[in-house]
Amino acid sequence: MNACNVLLATLQRELRRTLRNRAQIAQPIIFFGLVAVLFPFGLGPGAGSTSEIGATLIWIAVLLASTLSLEEIFRSDFEHGCLEAMLLSPHPLAVMIVAKSLAHWCFALAPLMVVAVFASVIFHTSAAERMVLFTTLLLGTPVFSFVGTVASALTVGLRNGALLLALLIIPMYIPVLIFGASALSNARLGLPTASEHYLLAGLTVLAITLAPLAGAAGLRARLS
Protein backbone atom coordinates (compact mmCIF):
# COMPACT_ATOMS: atom_id res chain seq x y z
CA MET A 1 0.00 0.00 0.00
CA ASN A 2 1.25 3.47 -0.84
CA ALA A 3 0.85 6.48 1.43
CA CYS A 4 -2.43 7.55 -0.19
CA ASN A 5 -4.00 4.12 0.34
CA VAL A 6 -2.82 4.08 3.96
CA LEU A 7 -4.37 7.51 4.49
CA LEU A 8 -7.72 6.47 3.00
CA ALA A 9 -7.80 3.16 4.88
CA THR A 10 -7.11 4.90 8.20
CA LEU A 11 -9.78 7.52 7.49
CA GLN A 12 -12.34 4.79 6.76
CA ARG A 13 -11.40 3.02 9.98
CA GLU A 14 -11.79 6.25 11.96
CA LEU A 15 -15.17 6.86 10.31
CA ARG A 16 -16.46 3.45 11.40
CA ARG A 17 -15.11 3.96 14.92
CA THR A 18 -16.71 7.40 15.22
CA LEU A 19 -20.08 6.16 13.98
CA ARG A 20 -20.01 3.53 16.73
CA ASN A 21 -19.34 6.25 19.29
CA ARG A 22 -21.55 9.15 18.26
CA ALA A 23 -21.04 10.85 21.62
CA GLN A 24 -17.63 11.92 20.30
CA ILE A 25 -19.49 14.12 17.80
CA ALA A 26 -22.31 15.21 20.10
CA GLN A 27 -20.30 16.26 23.17
CA PRO A 28 -18.46 19.24 21.60
CA ILE A 29 -21.68 20.50 19.99
CA ILE A 30 -23.63 20.21 23.26
CA PHE A 31 -20.86 21.98 25.16
CA PHE A 32 -20.74 24.78 22.62
CA GLY A 33 -24.53 25.09 22.62
CA LEU A 34 -24.64 25.45 26.39
CA VAL A 35 -22.02 28.21 26.31
CA ALA A 36 -23.76 30.05 23.46
CA VAL A 37 -27.16 29.89 25.16
CA LEU A 38 -26.09 30.69 28.73
CA PHE A 39 -23.61 33.49 28.06
CA PRO A 40 -26.19 36.11 26.92
CA PHE A 41 -28.14 35.49 30.13
CA GLY A 42 -25.02 36.29 32.12
CA LEU A 43 -24.51 39.58 30.28
CA GLY A 44 -28.05 40.78 30.75
CA PRO A 45 -30.47 42.38 28.30
CA GLY A 46 -27.98 44.77 26.65
CA ALA A 47 -27.62 43.63 23.04
CA GLY A 48 -24.69 45.95 22.43
CA SER A 49 -22.39 44.11 24.80
CA THR A 50 -23.11 40.77 23.15
CA SER A 51 -22.43 42.16 19.67
CA GLU A 52 -19.02 43.44 20.79
CA ILE A 53 -17.67 40.25 22.35
CA GLY A 54 -20.02 37.56 21.07
CA ALA A 55 -17.97 36.49 18.07
CA THR A 56 -14.80 36.34 20.18
CA LEU A 57 -16.65 34.23 22.72
CA ILE A 58 -17.59 31.83 19.92
CA TRP A 59 -13.90 31.35 19.12
CA ILE A 60 -13.17 30.61 22.79
CA ALA A 61 -16.07 28.16 23.00
CA VAL A 62 -14.91 26.36 19.85
CA LEU A 63 -11.38 26.14 21.25
CA LEU A 64 -12.55 24.63 24.53
CA ALA A 65 -15.10 22.32 22.89
CA SER A 66 -12.44 20.96 20.54
CA THR A 67 -10.44 19.63 23.49
CA LEU A 68 -13.23 17.33 24.68
CA SER A 69 -12.60 14.64 22.06
CA LEU A 70 -8.81 14.81 21.86
CA GLU A 71 -8.26 12.14 24.49
CA GLU A 72 -10.28 9.67 22.38
CA ILE A 73 -8.00 9.92 19.33
CA PHE A 74 -5.63 7.17 20.48
CA ARG A 75 -7.43 5.73 23.50
CA SER A 76 -9.22 2.83 21.80
CA ASP A 77 -6.12 1.96 19.79
CA PHE A 78 -4.05 1.93 22.99
CA GLU A 79 -6.57 -0.20 24.88
CA HIS A 80 -6.82 -2.78 22.09
CA GLY A 81 -3.10 -2.93 21.34
CA CYS A 82 -3.42 -1.35 17.90
CA LEU A 83 -0.81 1.30 18.58
CA GLU A 84 1.93 -1.33 18.83
CA ALA A 85 0.80 -2.70 15.47
CA MET A 86 0.95 0.80 14.01
CA LEU A 87 4.51 1.21 15.25
CA LEU A 88 5.56 -2.14 13.80
CA SER A 89 3.80 -1.51 10.50
CA PRO A 90 6.00 -0.91 7.43
CA HIS A 91 3.77 2.02 6.49
CA PRO A 92 4.78 5.56 7.51
CA LEU A 93 3.48 6.36 10.98
CA ALA A 94 3.28 10.06 10.10
CA VAL A 95 0.68 9.28 7.41
CA MET A 96 -1.49 7.57 10.00
CA ILE A 97 -1.12 10.62 12.25
CA VAL A 98 -2.33 12.81 9.37
CA ALA A 99 -5.37 10.56 8.94
CA LYS A 100 -6.12 10.69 12.67
CA SER A 101 -5.90 14.49 12.64
CA LEU A 102 -8.10 14.83 9.56
CA ALA A 103 -10.67 12.47 11.07
CA HIS A 104 -10.77 14.52 14.27
CA TRP A 105 -11.29 17.72 12.28
CA CYS A 106 -14.00 16.19 10.09
CA PHE A 107 -16.00 14.59 12.90
CA ALA A 108 -15.40 16.98 15.81
CA LEU A 109 -14.58 20.42 14.44
CA ALA A 110 -16.29 20.68 11.05
CA PRO A 111 -19.80 20.16 12.53
CA LEU A 112 -18.89 22.49 15.39
CA MET A 113 -17.76 25.15 12.93
CA VAL A 114 -21.09 25.09 11.10
CA VAL A 115 -23.04 25.26 14.35
CA ALA A 116 -20.86 28.16 15.52
CA VAL A 117 -21.67 30.27 12.46
CA PHE A 118 -25.41 29.77 12.96
CA ALA A 119 -25.08 30.43 16.70
CA SER A 120 -23.38 33.77 16.03
CA VAL A 121 -26.82 35.16 15.20
CA ILE A 122 -27.59 35.01 18.94
CA PHE A 123 -24.87 37.58 19.54
CA HIS A 124 -26.27 40.05 16.98
CA THR A 125 -23.29 39.74 14.63
CA SER A 126 -23.43 41.28 11.17
CA ALA A 127 -23.27 39.33 7.92
CA ALA A 128 -19.68 40.48 7.38
CA GLU A 129 -18.68 39.23 10.84
CA ARG A 130 -20.34 35.88 10.22
CA MET A 131 -18.45 35.48 6.95
CA VAL A 132 -15.14 36.34 8.65
CA LEU A 133 -16.01 33.98 11.50
CA PHE A 134 -16.56 31.14 9.05
CA THR A 135 -13.37 31.76 7.08
CA THR A 136 -11.20 32.17 10.18
CA LEU A 137 -12.62 29.00 11.71
CA LEU A 138 -12.03 27.17 8.44
CA LEU A 139 -8.41 28.31 8.36
CA GLY A 140 -7.65 28.04 12.07
CA THR A 141 -9.41 24.95 13.40
CA PRO A 142 -7.13 22.45 11.60
CA VAL A 143 -4.40 23.66 13.97
CA PHE A 144 -6.53 22.46 16.88
CA SER A 145 -6.78 18.97 15.39
CA PHE A 146 -3.16 18.53 14.29
CA VAL A 147 -1.58 20.03 17.41
CA GLY A 148 -4.12 18.24 19.60
CA THR A 149 -3.24 14.92 17.99
CA VAL A 150 0.41 15.45 18.94
CA ALA A 151 -0.55 16.18 22.55
CA SER A 152 -2.87 13.17 22.57
CA ALA A 153 0.00 10.97 21.37
CA LEU A 154 2.23 12.24 24.17
CA THR A 155 -0.37 11.60 26.89
CA VAL A 156 -1.98 8.36 25.67
CA GLY A 157 -2.36 5.81 28.43
CA LEU A 158 -1.45 8.20 31.24
CA ARG A 159 -3.56 8.40 34.37
CA ASN A 160 -5.31 11.80 34.53
CA GLY A 161 -4.06 12.38 31.01
CA ALA A 162 -6.95 14.73 30.19
CA LEU A 163 -5.64 17.41 32.56
CA LEU A 164 -2.10 17.12 31.22
CA LEU A 165 -3.48 17.21 27.68
CA ALA A 166 -5.28 20.49 28.38
CA LEU A 167 -2.16 22.01 29.94
CA LEU A 168 -0.14 21.08 26.85
CA ILE A 169 -2.45 22.31 24.14
CA ILE A 170 -4.08 25.48 25.48
CA PRO A 171 -0.87 27.59 25.29
CA MET A 172 -0.29 26.39 21.72
CA TYR A 173 -3.85 27.31 20.75
CA ILE A 174 -3.51 30.91 21.95
CA PRO A 175 -1.98 32.34 18.69
CA VAL A 176 -4.88 30.95 16.67
CA LEU A 177 -7.34 32.49 19.12
CA ILE A 178 -5.58 35.86 18.99
CA PHE A 179 -5.57 36.07 15.19
CA GLY A 180 -9.15 34.79 14.91
CA ALA A 181 -10.44 37.28 17.47
CA SER A 182 -8.42 40.09 15.84
CA ALA A 183 -10.00 39.35 12.45
CA LEU A 184 -13.48 39.51 13.97
CA SER A 185 -12.68 42.78 15.71
CA ASN A 186 -11.46 44.29 12.44
CA ALA A 187 -14.56 43.03 10.61
CA ARG A 188 -16.78 44.70 13.21
CA LEU A 189 -14.93 48.00 12.68
CA GLY A 190 -14.92 47.69 8.89
CA LEU A 191 -11.13 47.20 8.69
CA PRO A 192 -9.27 44.73 6.41
CA THR A 193 -8.82 41.18 7.72
CA ALA A 194 -6.45 39.79 5.08
CA SER A 195 -3.39 39.75 7.33
CA GLU A 196 -5.13 37.67 10.00
CA HIS A 197 -6.33 35.23 7.36
CA TYR A 198 -2.80 34.84 6.00
CA LEU A 199 -1.41 34.28 9.49
CA LEU A 200 -4.03 31.64 10.28
CA ALA A 201 -3.34 29.91 6.98
CA GLY A 202 0.38 29.98 7.75
CA LEU A 203 -0.18 28.42 11.18
CA THR A 204 -2.29 25.69 9.60
CA VAL A 205 0.35 24.90 6.98
CA LEU A 206 2.99 24.80 9.72
CA ALA A 207 0.85 22.47 11.83
CA ILE A 208 0.09 20.13 8.91
CA THR A 209 3.79 20.00 8.04
CA LEU A 210 5.31 19.46 11.49
CA ALA A 211 2.58 17.87 13.61
CA PRO A 212 2.60 14.41 11.90
CA LEU A 213 6.35 14.08 12.43
CA ALA A 214 6.07 15.26 16.03
CA GLY A 215 3.12 12.95 16.68
CA ALA A 216 4.96 9.95 15.28
CA ALA A 217 8.00 10.74 17.43
CA GLY A 218 5.76 11.21 20.46
CA LEU A 219 4.08 7.84 19.98
CA ARG A 220 7.41 6.06 19.64
CA ALA A 221 8.74 7.78 22.77
CA ARG A 222 5.55 7.06 24.71
CA LEU A 223 5.39 3.35 23.82
CA SER A 224 9.10 2.52 23.74
Q: What is the CA radius of gyration of the chain?
A: 18
Indicate the average pLDDT of the chain.
84
In the chain, DSSP assigns E strands to none
Tell me which DSSP letter residue 158 carries. Answer: -
- Residue 187 clears pLDDT 70, i.e. is over it: yes
Asked if residue 32 lies in contact with residue 165, where contact means CB atoms within 8 angstroms, the answer is no
Question: What's the pTM value of the predicted model, to 2 decimals?
Answer: 0.88
Sign, CA dihedral 166-208-181-36, equals negative
* Per-residue confidence band for 1, with pLDDT thresholds at 50, 70 and 90: low
* 85-105: average pLDDT: 84
- Residue 73 clears pLDDT 60, i.e. is over it: yes
Secondary element (H or E) of residue 4: helix 3-20
Domain boundaries, the chain: 3-223
**What percentage of the chain reaches a pLDDT higher than 70?**
93
Instruction: Measure Cα distances from 10 to 79, 162, 186, 196 in Å.
Output: 17, 24, 40, 33
Q: What angle do CA 21, 158, 155 make, to 5 degrees?
A: 80
* 94-106: average pLDDT: 88
Least confident segment among 34-48, 106-120, 187-201 = 34-48
Please indicate whether residue 179 or residue 20 has the higher confidence score (pLDDT).
179
Per residue in 31-61, pLDDT (tens digit) is 888 887 777 676 665 545 566 677 778 888 8
- Which of the listed ranges 37-51, 64-78, 185-199 does the model predict with the highest average pLDDT? 185-199
Asked if residue 70 lies in contact with residue 165, where contact means CB atoms within 8 angstroms, the answer is yes
Per residue in 126-161, pLDDT (tens digit) is 888 889 999 999 999 999 999 999 998 888 877 777
pLDDT at residue number 205: 95
At how many degrees (to 10) do helices 127-155 and 194-223 cross? 20
Tally of helices (H runs) and strands (E runs) in the chain: 10, 0
